[in-house]
Amino acid sequence: MIPNVRPMTFHLPGTRVPTAKRVSVLGSFNGWDAKVHRLRKSPENDWAITIYLPPSRIVYYFDVDGMAWLDPEDDGRVPNWWGSEYSVRNVMPSDEATEVAKPKMVVSRATTRTPKGE
């Protein structure tokens, strides 16, 4: 089990990006990789994803078809090295940690037995 993680939902209203074809959330929690956490588009054209993160201050932004977007629902902003800003979200600890099961790795090994005496 992975202890002490919290579900965080990232949401971007479709009315802000009506022509978007792809939306991702990027941060240090995924190596700033747009392919890791792609948001899903709802029938109402809103974009969302829920990610399990440890309690901390999360610095991130949305990638909308290759363009950086700040989160209109963030907890604040911090400056970045390029003279712009990143969104900030505070993942708060809870009294009861949510546990997420780690996927089990199954290792299969073929064994060959030879009869005694051969």
What are the domain boundaries of the chain? 2-100
Q: Which tokens go with 92?
A: 């708060």
| Rg of the Cα atoms in the chain | 21
Mean pLDDT of 8-29: 96
pLDDT value of position 102: 44
The answer to whether 22 touches 32, Cβ cutoff 8 Å, is no
Residue with tokens 């064994």: 111
Q: Is the dihedral of CA 74, 77, 78, 79 positive or negative?
A: positive
In the predicted model, is pLDDT for residue 14 greater than 60?
A: yes
Mean pLDDT of 25-30: 95
pLDDT in tens, 36-50: 999 999 999 999 999
pLDDT value of position 115: 47
Query: Of 80, 30, 72, which Cα lies nearest the Cα of 47?
Result: 72
CATH 3.40.50.10540 fits 2-100, yes or no: no
pLDDT value of position 72: 93
pLDDT in tens, 60-118: 999 999 999 999 999 999 999 889 999 999 998 875 444 444 444 444 344 344 445 54
In the predicted model, is pLDDT for residue 23 greater than 90?
A: yes
The answer to whether 55 touches 6, Cβ cutoff 8 Å, is yes
pLDDT value of position 20: 96
The residue type found at 114 is: T
In the predicted model, is pLDDT for residue 8 greater than 70?
A: yes
Decide: helix, strand or coil at residue 67.
Answer: strand
Query: Of 10, 13, 18, 17, which Cα lies nearest the Cα of 38?
Result: 10
